Amino acid sequence: MEKSNRRSFVKKMTAMGIASASLIGANAIAANATTPEPAPEKKKNAKKNDGKYRFGFIGTGSRCQEHINNVLSFDDTVIVAICDTQQGPIQSTLKHIANNGKQDAPKVYTGSERAFEQMLNNEEFDCVIIASPWEWHVPMSLAAMKAGVPYVGVEVSAANTVEECWDLVNVSEATGSQLNIMENVCYRQDVMAALRMVREGLFGELIHTRCGYQHDLREVKFNDGKNYNFVKGGELRMGPEAFAEAQWRTQHSVCRNGDIYPTHGIGPVANCLDINRGNRFTKLSSMATQSLGLHKYIVDNGGADHKLAKLKFNLGDIVTTQIQCANGQTVICTHDTNSPRPYSLGFRVQGTEGLWEDDGSRVYVEGKSKPHTWDPAEKWLKEYDHKMWAELGAKAAGAGHGGMDYIMMCDLMDAIRNKKPAPMDCYDAAAWSAVSGLSEMSIARGGALVDFPDFTRGHWIVRKPAFAL
């Protein structure tokens, strides 16, 4: 998206980081965000004579193309329109759709950073998928819901600040549009097997979970520096040849300090803990290490005199967040993207009778495992394979991210076809994404405990588990 909007976003993030240090807690924000705005007048869905469910895509990078593959795999879908500001991704997406051979080319909306509004006003959709840079997720989601799109899928994280989380909830409630956070890790095969283990009581009563996003992104963020035009006022500017992700992700490491990408970890454990459905997050505390990794990487790969070597990165190399739940459980979430390490989401799901750990792929069940000895997880994961994988696993073979992208799109399509609630709704999008803004608040206040907003406004007490039943 255009750089002017990124600059305003950076200023907003910086101002919020300073202001948040004086807040009593996150509920101070919630107090000003408890009344949904009036519902706008909805457009009527176009009458469809072809029986097809009409999709639109905003943001046409590689993530979008994975979603398009899955949408086009269904016989009852058609892609009506796509939108982006950059011609390279648009042309790649059009070629991608043409090579599929299922449909004619969709309409293209481009030319300005607000072209998505024109697309939403001109076209009728059953679902719009948003796969744009982080700072655009909320404005685009709000516009789609207000335009009367019945289902809006937004990539992760859904929001960057607590206020934005409330915006998603308020507008979804006011319009009736179903917001679905596209958190694919919730559909990972081992994660879904672990969820089944929890639901069937294999681990007893849950007491603790761990998760995170531990992924060496130094090369993506630095992008060898060749496409960074200059650094001014703490902002990076890159040419179009830069890695697509680097064009927007790197700036967040410059101006923010918190768990800025929590949902890959938080989403799956939230499902295990029945968050927003009989349980909720109540308090949060975060701490960050010093920021050394990106600077070292720049010096090691570009030299001490490189133009970025004097740039100050705000993001601590490792951010550790602890969350308390209403039912007594605790969650530890780790963000680590500036260090040399293999990829890991670091899952641990632990109860009174056993646990599963992602790292090491191991399970221990009291009374069933050899005392004080881990079992390889494979036999347990096979025994507790979730029915969605048993039914769809063969079709998912070869799809994005080990097939979980396909399983996720099948679940969303089931909701669309049957007019059911979104599988991972606006309350999930808000609770999982709020970890970012709340962790920034806590770190700015020296690791202080902050209150976690109740985005359901008390309804978590009576809401029932719904995901992947």
Q: Decide: pTM greater than 0.85.
A: yes
Q: What is the CATH number of the domain that holds 275?
A: 3.30.360.10
Instruction: Let me know whether 434 and 342 are in one domain.
Output: yes
If you average pLDDT over residues 442-466, what whole number do you get? 98
pLDDT at 428 (0 to 100): 98
pLDDT at 244 (0 to 100): 57
**Structural domain count of the chain:** 2
pLDDT at 326 (0 to 100): 98
Q: What is the pLDDT of residues 148-160, one digit of tens each?
A: 999 999 999 999 9
User: Is residue 451 one of the residues assigned to a domain?
Assistant: yes
If you average pLDDT over residues 261-285, what whole number do you get? 98
User: Is residue 405 one of the residues assigned to a domain?
Assistant: no
pLDDT at 227 (0 to 100): 52
User: Is residue 466 one of the residues assigned to a domain?
Assistant: no
Instruction: Look at residue 1 and tell me whether its pLDDT is greater than 70.
Output: no
Instruction: Let me know whether 203 and 241 are in one domain.
Output: yes
Domain termination residue (choose one: 138, 167, 183): 183
User: Is residue 45 one of the residues assigned to a domain?
Assistant: yes
pLDDT at 26 (0 to 100): 40
pLDDT at 250 (0 to 100): 87
Instruction: Let me know whether 152 and 281 are in one domain.
Output: no
Domain termination residue (choose one: 133, 164, 183): 183
Instruction: Let me know whether 232 and 381 are in one domain.
Output: yes
pLDDT at 222 (0 to 100): 86
pLDDT at 248 (0 to 100): 73
Q: What is the pLDDT of residues 369-413, one digit of tens each?
A: 999 999 999 999 999 999 999 999 999 998 889 999 999 999 999
Q: What is the pLDDT of residues 216-238, one digit of tens each?
A: 999 988 876 555 544 445 555 54
Instruction: Look at residue 261 and tell me whether its pLDDT is greater than 50.
Output: yes
Instruction: Let me know whether 216 and 307 are in one domain.
Output: yes
pLDDT at 60 (0 to 100): 96
Instruction: Let me know whether 274 and 145 are in one domain.
Output: no
Domain termination residue (choose one: 145, 165, 183): 183
Instruction: Let me know whether 307 and 434 are in one domain.
Output: yes
Average pLDDT of the chain, as a whole number: 89
Instruction: Look at residue 108 and tell me whether its pLDDT is greater than 60.
Output: yes
Q: Which of 126-135, 225-234, 244-253, 343-352 has the weakest average pLDDT? A: 225-234
Domain that holds residue 117: 3-183
Q: What is the pLDDT of residues 39-65, one digit of tens each?
A: 444 454 444 658 999 999 999 998 999
Instruction: Let me know whether 206 and 295 are in one domain.
Output: yes
User: Is residue 409 one of the residues assigned to a domain?
Assistant: no
pLDDT at 21 (0 to 100): 36
Three-state SS for the chain is CCHHHHHHHHHHHHHHHHHHHHCCCCHHHHCCCCCCCCCCCCCCCCCCCCCCEEEEEECCCHHHHHHHHHHHCCCCEEEEEEECCCHHHHHHHHHHHHHHCCCCCCEEECCCCCHHHHHHHHCCCCEEEECCCHHHHHHHHHHHHHCCCCEEEECCCCCCCHHHHHHHHHHHHHHCCEEEECCHHHHCHHHHHHHHHHHCCCCCCEEEEEEEEECCCHHHHHHHHCCEEEEECCEEEECCCCCCCHHHHHHHHHHCCCCCCCHHHHHHHHHHCCECCCECEEEEEEEECCCCHHHHHHHHHHCCCCCCCCCCCCCCCEEEEEEEECCCCEEEEEEECCCCCCCECCCEEEECCEEEECCCCEEEECCCCCCCCCEEHHHHHHHCCCHHHHHHHHHHCCCHHHHHHHHHHHHHHHHHHHCCCCCCCHHHHHHHHHHHHHHHHHHHCCCCCEECCCCCCCHHHCCCCCCCC
Q: What is the CATH number of the domain that holds 78?
A: 3.40.50.720
User: Is residue 399 one of the residues assigned to a domain?
Assistant: no
User: Is residue 272 one of the residues assigned to a domain?
Assistant: yes
Instruction: Let me know whether 159 and 303 are in one domain.
Output: no
Instruction: Let me know whether 265 and 195 are in one domain.
Output: yes
User: Is residue 148 one of the residues assigned to a domain?
Assistant: yes
Instruction: Let me know whether 299 and 176 are in one domain.
Output: no
Instruction: Let me know whether 236 and 383 are in one domain.
Output: yes
Share of the chain above pLDDT 70, in %: 84
Is residue 31 very low, low, confident or very high in pLDDT (cuts 50, 70, 90)?
very low
pLDDT at 11 (0 to 100): 44
pLDDT at 49 (0 to 100): 59
